[in-house]
Amino acid sequence: MLGGVFTPCTLTILGVIMFLRFGYVVGQAGIFYALVIIAVAKLITVLTTLSLSAIATNTEVKGGGAYFLISRSLGVEFGGAIGLVFFLAQAISVAMYVIGFTEAFVDAFPNTGLSSAAIATICNTFVFACVYIGAGWTIRLQYFILAALVISLVSFYAGAIPAFDSNTFKANWSSNYDEGVSFFSMFALFFPAVTGIMAGANMSGDLKDPARAIPSGTLWSIVFTGLIYGSLALLMGGARDATALKVIDPKAPLVIADIAWSSWLISAGVFAATLSSALGSMMGAPRILQAFAKDNVFPSIRGFATGAGKADEPRRATIVTFVIAQAAILLVSDLNAITPLITMFFMITYGLLNLATFYEAITKNPSYRPRFRYSHWITSLAGTVGCVGVMFLIDWRWAVIAVCGMAVLYFYISNKQVETRWGDLQNGLLFERTRKNLYRLEKELHHPKNWRPIILALGGASQTRPHLSMYGHWLAAGHGVLSLGQVIQSEVENRLQRVVNQERLLYAFINEHKLEAFPAVVAAPTVAEGMESLVQTHGLGALRPNTVLLGWPHSQGDTETLLEKRRQYADILNTIASLERSTVALKFSAAAMQRESGHVPLGTLDVWWRGSQNGELLLLLAHLLTQNQAWRSRPIRLIRTIQNEAGREEVQKHLNELIDKSRIRATPHVVVTDDPFKAISQTSRSAAIVFMGMSLPEPEKAGEFFERMEQLAGQLPRIAFIRSAGGMCLHS
């Protein structure tokens, strides 16, 4: 966190703009609007960091920084476009920092006999050589640079505090713009100073634990540098008048050096800040290009995916970054001209990063379970709107060019042709979008990360078992798809009319109970045949049911009738398993069904863990249940029984690891017992619902199977027996 994120972020933020242009910003905008500029810039970076932290803690972060995070959320089209743009932004940033170093060097040593271009080229070559050797050596070097930077700031404070004058402060409080200068041009000039928030994320492939280091290191850096810039604005505005602050002549001394106790310490700080920022961008840009090349979006740049040594250093990409930076140095020598271009690049990158987090949150994907809890879709949307809005306020023409350029890259990568449709525009667009998404789901939904509950509730509209439809709705609402299946025992005569009538009843049931569900009715000679038909044929493409929800058979009747009923039920369970569907069998007592009638019971959600075969689905379904507003206050308990007290610590550790990797809020509980049946009844007697795994019954041993399950259930009022067919993974 300190070496890989906080230090590079801080050094990049406290860089060339702070030393060479911040006094100019304060002189033009005035102290008040300078503080506003700092606040707005920091607000955008804070919102973006919240989004960055959410995505970084929701997936295994590899090399590529913002490109990796965006491409894994919005897809390769957006990711590829932003990968190229962000790489260019970082590469050109190297030129900006090198030009800043050159200005400071010429100011400190005016009689070297070398041209500015020659000095910039030497500096760029030095930065390239440092990074080419390896990131580890460069990171260690940054600690010394940070020390020099802190000493230079101390020197400034030592000179500014005694020179502070209240009359000068009052005179500089309001803006004093020259012709052609505005608040937004000053914002565009300053904003590249705060773009260093990505310096840590760009090193994601080199961090030991990026999910922890990126959020904490970046946020602490934003707070620390915000305090620095705020104090600089106040002290500069009180130490020198606006005329002195606005001087940016390379031949004149820097205003920050003129204020400081020692101008040489400021020069050392300028050299340290500009070099460190250039080093950070020179390290980050090649890693973006390398990650982009590894994804093979453009086969022509595949060669840049190759790394060197054990650390997989992107040396080929580093050479390209050096060439681009050198070209920018030779073509653009004015710092004021290059910063607005970089601002646009970074703004559109930050906007898409916020957009990626917004879509992750708003689509309610079950795999979106970030450990970072302080990001919300509202903050992500605000960050997106803020970035786009500021782009257009700074320069609407460059903003339009940037957006159009991104659109061209997007459509080029996606390689889709525009289709002309006539008729109703809204219906046509909706149909086309649905059609394409269904085809896309057909190819991609199989990935465990994208698993969602597509539930077929058999008998879910029965008035005697309303809990099936309600729990199906709670498990799927906002996350998956629910269908209420009904089987009509019927011969050929009047079959169609009976199916239509039952569908109408199902629609009425769905509307009455305000469920998010589809009706699924089939007529068959027997209930068992109808269930098998529904499970096999219901759904469209990738939206076929992956989970079958059904009730538990009653234990009433004579022995022969009960045994036959259980054999039929065992056949149904085996049929569902043979069709590779998961099974959720709800066993509710009559009293529980009558008493609650769709209301959420009090108590915990107890998940009895007996291994990952069924356990992962148990824990995920419990998590999905708590995503409903009515269930949100119900805590999840992950419980496991052991026979010996000596194993408690190891099992407790294992359960904690399961909870941490799954990113689901749950409390581990270890129960030591020789009688698991009794322990389950006692431990979960006050639970709202109990989740337990089950194996498949052998048809000839159906009686033994049900006796065992009844014994496990005991007198518990609500139990979900679950058998997982796989296809999902909690660690994704």
pLDDT tens for 337-383 read 666 777 788 888 888 888 878 877 876 767 778 888 888 889 999 99
Q: What is the DSSP string of 674-694?
A: S-HHHHHHHHTTT-SEEEEE-
* Listed range (253-267, 340-354, 405-419) with the worst mean pLDDT: 405-419
The amino acid at residue 143 is Y
With vertex at residue 642, the alpha carbon angle to CA 637 and CA 645, rounded to the nearest 5 degrees, is 110
- According to the model, what pLDDT value does residue 562 have? 82
Q: In whole angstroms, what is the distance from residue 384 CA to residue 76 CA? A: 19
Residue burial 145-179, b: 16+ Cβ < 10 Å; e: rest:
bbebbeebbebbeebbeebeeeebbebbeebbbee
In terms of C-beta density within 10 A (0-12 exposed, 13-18 middle, 19 or more buried), how is residue 290 classed?
A: buried
Range with the lowest mean pLDDT among 16-20, 64-68, 211-215, 227-231?
Answer: 64-68
Which of 414, 445, 480 delimits the end of a domain? 414
Copy the structure tokens of residue 215.
């959020």
Residue pLDDT, tens place only, 470-520: 899 999 877 889 999 888 887 766 778 888 888 888 888 888 888 888 888
* Statement: residue 334 has pLDDT above 80: no
Cα(66)–Cα(352) distance, integer angstroms:
9
Q: Give the largest CA-CA distance in the chain.
A: 108
- Tell me whether residue 517 is in a domain: no
The answer to whether residue 490 is domain-embedded is: no
311 token code pair: 């650390």
Q: How far apart are CA 349 and CA 285, in angstroms?
A: 14
Q: Three-state DSSP class for 520?
A: strand
383 pairs with which residues across the strands? none
Please identify, among 359, 392, 414, the residue that sits at the C-terminal boundary of a domain. Answer: 414
| Angstrom distance (rounded) from CA 331 to CA 323 | 12
Give the CATH number, domain containing residue 705: 3.40.50.12370
Evaluate whether residue 452 is within a structural domain. no
The stretch 205-220 carries a mean pLDDT of 79
Quickly tell me which residue has 């581990």 as its tokens: 668
Average pLDDT taken over every residue of the chain: 83
Q: Is residue 179 part of a domain?
A: yes
User: Position of tokens 């009843």?
Assistant: 505
**516 is a domain residue:** no
**What distance in Å separates the CA atoms of residue 606 and residue 627, rounded to the nearest whole number?**
16
More confident residue, 588 or 541: 588
From edge to edge, which strands make up the β-sheet containing 582-588? 518-524, 481-489, 454-458, 547-551, 582-588, 718-723, 689-693, 605-608, 636-642, 667-672
Number of domains in the chain: 2
Give 284-317 pLDDT, tens digit per residue.
888 888 888 887 777 778 888 887 777 677 888 8
What's the confidence (pLDDT) of residue 422? 30
| Residue 29 within a domain | yes
Q: Domain of 150?
A: 2-295+311-414
CATH number at residue 165: 1.20.1740.10
What pLDDT, on the 0 to 100 scale, is given for residue 690?
A: 95
Q: Is the pLDDT of residue 161 over 90?
A: yes
pLDDT at 109 over 50: yes
Alpha helices (H) along 191-314: 198-201, 210-239, 242-245, 255-259, 263-294
Domain assignment present for 434: no
The last residue of one of the domains, among 372, 395, 414, is 414
Beta bridge partners of 485: 458, 520
What is the structure's pLDDT at 688? 93
Q: Give domain status of residue 217, yes or no.
A: yes
Residue 35 confidence (pLDDT) above 90? yes
